[in-house]
């Protein structure tokens, strides 16, 4: 099997937990961490290396941002995180500057490399990375609403008492306040969700809970990292093992000239197909709302 190398830029709460999730699941032969805070990075690597004897024979070490350009997958999780009560857009100015310096230092990146943006606001920074790098858009995407979708499926699973794996429902649009569930296409083992006796009030409550969950976690403990790290590790597994799984990620929408989340087929080449779900009139409006919000943030 090919030796796979994953580099994580930003060894803070999110980056180091991604490394931990990758180690536990034996996803890559080599994991590299990069952080401008060298002491923090060293500490995380020493700590993570203690977990190695319980996992597969992965190699974990630090490197420079330049070296990260030669990896199979680059994950960017560097930058400012939300403070309690702050929305993701508030991070744009500070994080755009950080991402610019990282992307400039990364180049040239290998032809086959896949770049996953995690830093928020993830949709805008994914588009920014696509514009700055001379690299196929299908190989640059953001974690987007993958985490939000998992949150929604968890709530549906609890409500219906049916395993999440049998529930196909997606959160689309911005990884932010204008995200929305595509209820009209949601299915449980092929049965339309509308055939289950869930009231509009229950559906709205689940959508709101999904939208607000990150705020609540940040209010309680200052940061979110386990959920996003597990999602990013799952994205890496899908790519490395060429699983062709349908996964919602933030990707370029030519029609709107922005990045936002829809389900895609992911494999070793990155995004291999975009899946455009049929939307009802309300969902079409919600999508337009998300697009307009993202465009306004970009132009402001
Ligand atoms: P953190 O403060 O714990 O870590 C950020 C790290 O980035 C720090 O260690 C810092 O030294 C490093 N850094 C800053 N500039 C850098 C540079 N130029 N090169 C290398 N490293 C650099 O923050 P966190 O909680 O790990 O969050 C990181 C980012 O992930 C934030 O933007 C946060 O909003 C985002 N996030 C995204 C999601 C999602 O669903 N997409 C979920 C959670 C967090």
The answer to whether the beta carbons of residues 3 and 218 sit under 8 Å apart is no
Q: Is the CB of 230 under 6 A from ligand 1?
A: no
The answer to whether the beta carbons of residues 232 and 247 sit under 8 Å apart is no
This prediction has a pTM of 0.97
Q: Which residues are catalytic?
A: 175
Q: Is the CB of 171 under 6 A from ligand 1?
A: no
**Per residue in 142-191, pLDDT tens?**
999 999 999 999 999 999 999 999 999 999 999 999 999 999 999 999 99
Q: Best substitution site from 12, 13, 234 to test ligand 1's pocket, by max atoms within 8 Å of Cβ?
A: 12
63: how many CB neighbours lie within 10 A of its CB? 17
**Per residue in 10-64, pLDDT tens?**
999 999 999 999 999 999 999 999 999 999 999 999 999 999 988 877 799 999 9
Q: Best substitution site from 7, 10, 69, 145 to test ligand 1's pocket, by max atoms within 8 Å of Cβ?
A: 10
Residue 194 CA, chain-centre distance (Å), reads 28
Q: Is the CB of 11 under 6 A from ligand 1?
A: yes
Structure tokens at 14: 């999110």
Between residues 122 and 55, the one the model is more confident about: 122
Helix (H, G, I), strand (E, B) or coil at 274: strand
- Give whole-number Cα distances, 260 to 30, 126, 257, in Å: 30, 9, 10
Q: Does 1 score more than 80 pLDDT? A: no
The Cα–Cα gap between 133 and 93 comes to 19
Q: Does 99 score more than 70 pLDDT? A: yes
**Per residue in 231-284, pLDDT tens?**
999 999 999 999 999 999 999 999 999 999 999 999 999 999 999 999 999 999
How far does residue 190's CA lie from ligand 1's centre (Å)? 38
The reported pLDDT for the residue numbered 284 is 98
- Give whole-number Cα distances, 77 to 118, 124, 132, in Å: 5, 14, 17
Residue carrying the six token digits 């809970």: 209
Q: Does 88 score more than 90 pLDDT? A: no
How far does residue 128's CA lie from ligand 1's centre (Å)? 17
């Amino acid at each position: 099997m090919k030796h796979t190398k994953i580099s994580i830029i930003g060894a803070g709460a999110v980056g180091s937990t991604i490394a931990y999730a990758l180690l536990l699941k034996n996803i890559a032969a080599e994991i590299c961490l990069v952080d401008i805070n060298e002491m923090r990075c060293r500490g995380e690597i020493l700590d993570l290396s203690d977990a190695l004897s319980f996992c597969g024979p992965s190699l974990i070490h630090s490197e420079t941002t330049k070296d990260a350009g030669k990896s199979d997958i680059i994950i960017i999780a560097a930058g400012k995180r939300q403070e309690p009560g702050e929305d993701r857009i508030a991070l744009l100015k500070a994080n755009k500057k950080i991402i610019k310096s990282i992307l400039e230092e990364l180049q040239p990146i290998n032809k086959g490399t896949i770049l996953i943006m995690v830093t928020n606001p993830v949709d805008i920074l994914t588009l920014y990375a696509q514009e700055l790098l001379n690299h196929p858009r299908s190989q640059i995407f953001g974690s987007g609403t993958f985490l939000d979708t998992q949150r929604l499926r968890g709530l549906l699973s609890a409500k219906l008492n049916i395993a999440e794996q049998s529930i196909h429902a997606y959160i689309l649009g911005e990884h932010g306040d204008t995200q929305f569930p595509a209820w009209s296409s949601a299915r449980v083992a092929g049965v339309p969700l509308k055939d289950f006796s869930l009231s509009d009030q229950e559906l709205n409550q689940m959508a709101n809970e999904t939208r607000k969950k990150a705020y609540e976690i940040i209010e309680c403990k200052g940061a979110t990292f386990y959920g996003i790290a597990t999602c990013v590790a799952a994205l890496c597994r899908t790519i490395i093992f060429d699983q062709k799984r349908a996964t919602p990620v933030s990707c370029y929408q030519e029609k709107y000239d922005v990045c936002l989340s829809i389900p895609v087929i992911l494999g070793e080449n990155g995004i291999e197909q975009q899946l455009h779900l049929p939307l009802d009139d309300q969902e079409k409006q919600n999508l337009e709302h998300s697009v307009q919000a993202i465009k306004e943030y970009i132009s402001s």
